[in-house]
Amino acid sequence: MNISHLEKITLTKHLAVMVKSGITLNEALSNLADSSKSANTKQILNSISQQISNGSNLNVAMEKFPNIFDEFYRGIIKVGEATGRLDTSLSYLADQLGQEYAIEKKIQGALMYPMLVLVATLGLGAFVSLYILPKLVDFFSAFQDKLPASTMFLLNTAMFMKNYGVLVFSAIGIFIFLLLVLIRLPFFQPSWHRFILHLPLFGNILKEREIARFSRNLGTLIKSGLPVFEALEITARSQSNLAYREAVTNLYKNLEKGNNIASVLKKNTSDFLFPRLISDMIAVGEKTGSLDESLEYVSQFYQNDIEETAQNLANILEPAVLVGIGLVVGFMALAIISPIYQLTGAIG
């Protein structure tokens, strides 16, 4: 049972408005369930409402649905209930969820067109390799004159694909399937998560996304009134990349020894995961007593950088992919037409 990210944002916003206007939590949840068009959402909200009627707090009632309301979400709710500022906590959550959703959509939007072109190109390449090139073998074999180098290369490729094309694409398909299975295995996931952070272009976006999430979540939890140690523990589990989850886990474990966040980041955490800017800004925040504001600044800085990088990535990839396709098509056209012109010239 699950609901979409956008639906969770809308639900959180509406719940914040209702609670702020004075409607009881139980009534607000019932109203949201009645107005929802999703059967899953209705069932989830009715279940939470029933538990609250039985005396549970909202954060406890949400524990039944950990895939929807993660520990970060429930932590903010818990603080809001404890301080009597549930409407404010819900507003914080709606803002944070909205920012994260916006980042994800910008990244997806920037990569959508290049990925579609790439998939179409691979599909066309497979069709040409398996059905068109093999037919060129007999055609070019009829030429008695010496063929141009481009045509010979195409002919050799055609002969290879005629004999082994099915095996090549079957092997590629099996490799992709095995990789998808492998990256879901617990013992392999940490290595895979570290590897993808080193990918050209994409790795930097993933790092910036994790840093923005770390700063935004930690800042929000501290601002809502949660102690730093507990906030770090929740933030660690909210990191989607296991390399960052491990780094933040080590961070709050080292705080038990009386260290502050900035000093631990500088000593024990790689600059690859957390650049010096992060520890410097956190150090300023810890000295001035405005750690939440420093973290918010860092989060906004990296969020803006992600948006700019994603847009630049799209601007770079789109023409690069089109140029690549044009070069391949031009090469094939030259390889096919050159011997035909050579033959007609000899006849003339």
- Least confident range of 45-49, 227-231, 322-326: 322-326
162 burial level (CB within 10 Å; 0-12, 13-18, 19+): middle
In this prediction, residue 171 carries a pLDDT of 92
In this prediction, residue 346 carries a pLDDT of 59
> What CA–CA distance (Å, rounded) separates 328 from 87?
58
How confident is residue 192, by pLDDT bands cut at 50, 70 and 90? very high
DSSP H/E element including 274:
none
> What CA–CA distance (Å, rounded) separates 236 from 206?
16
Length of the chain: 348
* pLDDT tens for each residue of 67-93: 888 888 888 888 888 888 888 888 888
In this prediction, residue 137 carries a pLDDT of 66
Q: Mean pLDDT across the stretch 202-211?
A: 87
Candidates 213, 211, 215, 212; CA nearest to 293 is: 215
Candidates 294, 240, 230, 289; CA nearest to 76 is: 230
In this prediction, residue 164 carries a pLDDT of 83
Q: Is the pLDDT of residue 323 over 90?
A: no
- Least confident range of 139-143, 269-273, 317-321: 139-143
Give span(s): CATH 1.20.81.30, the chain. 96-348
Q: Mean pLDDT across the stretch 80-107?
A: 84
How confident is residue 120, by pLDDT bands cut at 50, 70 and 90? confident
Q: Is the pLDDT of residue 312 over 70?
A: yes
In this prediction, residue 277 carries a pLDDT of 85
Q: Mean pLDDT across the stretch 106-130?
A: 73
In this prediction, residue 150 carries a pLDDT of 78
CATH class of 96-348: mainly alpha
How confident is residue 324, by pLDDT bands cut at 50, 70 and 90? confident
In this prediction, residue 343 carries a pLDDT of 66
- Least confident range of 174-183, 185-194, 196-205: 196-205
In this prediction, residue 348 carries a pLDDT of 53
Contact 56, 64 (CB under 8 A): no
* pLDDT higher at 347 or 217: 217
How confident is residue 242, by pLDDT bands cut at 50, 70 and 90? very high
Q: Is the pLDDT of residue 306 over 70?
A: yes
Q: Is the pLDDT of residue 220 over 90?
A: no
Q: Mean pLDDT across the stretch 147-169?
A: 79
In this prediction, residue 194 carries a pLDDT of 92
Average pLDDT, the chain: 83
Question: What string of DSSP letters covers 21-45?
Answer: TT--HHHHHHHHHHH---HHHHHHH
186 burial level (CB within 10 Å; 0-12, 13-18, 19+): exposed
How confident is residue 177, by pLDDT bands cut at 50, 70 and 90? very high
> Which residue has tokens 């990918």?
199
